[in-house]
Homo-oligomer: A and B are copies of this chain.
Amino acid sequence: MSPTPQQRRAARHQLDPSAPAARRGPSGRRKKPITVEAIISTAFDIVEKEGYEALTMRRVAAALETGPSSLYAHVVNKEDLDELLIGRLCAEIELPAPDPATWRRQLIDVCTQLRDQYLRYPGISQAAFAAAPSNLDTLRVSEGMLAILLAGGVDPQTAAWTIDALTLYVNAHSLEVSLAARRSDEAWVRSRDEMLNRFAALPDTFPQTKRYAAELTAGTTHDRFAFTLGLMLDGLPGQPSLA
């Protein structure tokens, strides 16, 4: 009995990642035999070049020079493929050894790595929302964040919920940036001028928005990202960070 894709998934979710299930002889029947690995990597290629919205089963199959049905022997679902992508993405994250002296900086670094990965594959954070948090790779990241927070002297309950808040925000921010970038490929300043004009033309029922239009449109997306992370971490009652 050959493993059904469901069994493959179950194996992936297995909590003890031992027994790599030695791949059968590389039956070189096909020049490039379809493997989960091949599917994942071509999927990443597509998302990187054309965005997450372009990631369809048919598109992946076409890139692999086959029909869509061929994928379902290796992957349960599109949803499953999404989860694999997110897992792979999280696996790339480098987790530092927790250092009580610089825990805030460390946490920000991890979040920034995540954001960069999400933005490298625009729109993929959409998949991160749906991905089950039981995935081993995502769990590895949150384990790392938890370790950093605990090393920083944050109490466990606060740390746990802070991780939730952080990952949720990173996801959302990345998604928004991706969507906004897709909406207008032009430089951002152009969009900012447009925004300023709109705000200036607003009726008087929007006094504050008109008055502080400059502040509302100020800063790059990176600035806003750093600001929000600071907002969440600075209020944290932990050991004061040196950096």
Closest CB-CB distance, A239 to chain B, in whole Å?
A: 16
Q: Which of A6-43 contact B (CB under 8 A)?
A: 15-17
Question: Which B residues lie within 8 Å of A227 (CB)?
Answer: 158, 161, 165
Q: Which of A99-136 contact B (CB under 8 A)?
A: 129-130, 132, 134
Alpha-carbon distance A201/B134, docked complex (angstroms): 12
A231 touches B130 (CB 8 A): no
Tell which of B17, B163, B168 touches A203, judged by Cβ atoms closer than 8 Å: B17
Tell which of B129, B139, B208, B231 touches A179, judged by Cβ atoms closer than 8 Å: B129
- Interface assignment of A156: CB less than 8 Å from any CB of chain B: yes
- Interface assignment of A198: CB less than 8 Å from any CB of chain B: yes
Alpha-carbon distance A227/B109, docked complex (angstroms): 23
Q: Which of A160-191 contact B (CB under 8 A)?
A: 160-165, 168-169, 171-173, 175-176, 179, 183
Which residue of chain B has the shortest Cβ distance to A132 in the bound complex?
A: B183
With A143-B209, A206-B139, A208-B146 given, is the CB distance from A165 to B231 under 8 Å?
yes
B172 touches A168 (CB 8 A): yes
- Interface assignment of A92: CB less than 8 Å from any CB of chain B: no
With A206-B143, A212-B156 given, is the CB distance from A173 to B162 under 8 Å?
no
- Interface assignment of A78: CB less than 8 Å from any CB of chain B: no
Q: Is the interface of A mostly helix, strand, loop or mixed?
A: helix
Question: Which B residues lie within 8 Å of A129 (CB)?
Answer: 172, 175-176, 179
* Other A-B pairs, 11, CB within 8 Å; known A143-B205, A164-B228, A169-B172: A129-B176, A140-B205, A143-B207, A156-B215, A157-B218, A159-B215, A160-B212, A161-B227, A168-B169, A231-B236, A234-B235
Alpha-carbon distance A143/B213, docked complex (angstroms): 11
B216 touches A15 (CB 8 A): no
Alpha-carbon distance A203/B17, docked complex (angstroms): 8
A134 touches B198 (CB 8 A): yes
Closest CB-CB distance, A18 to chain B, in whole Å?
A: 8
The 7 closest A-B pairs by CB, nearest first: A235-B235, A172-B172, A165-B228, A160-B215, A156-B215, A146-B208, A160-B216
B179 touches A15 (CB 8 A): no
14 CB-based A-B contacts, threshold 8 Å? A16-B203, A129-B176, A129-B179, A132-B183, A143-B206, A156-B215, A160-B216, A160-B218, A161-B223, A161-B227, A163-B216, A165-B227, A231-B236, A234-B235
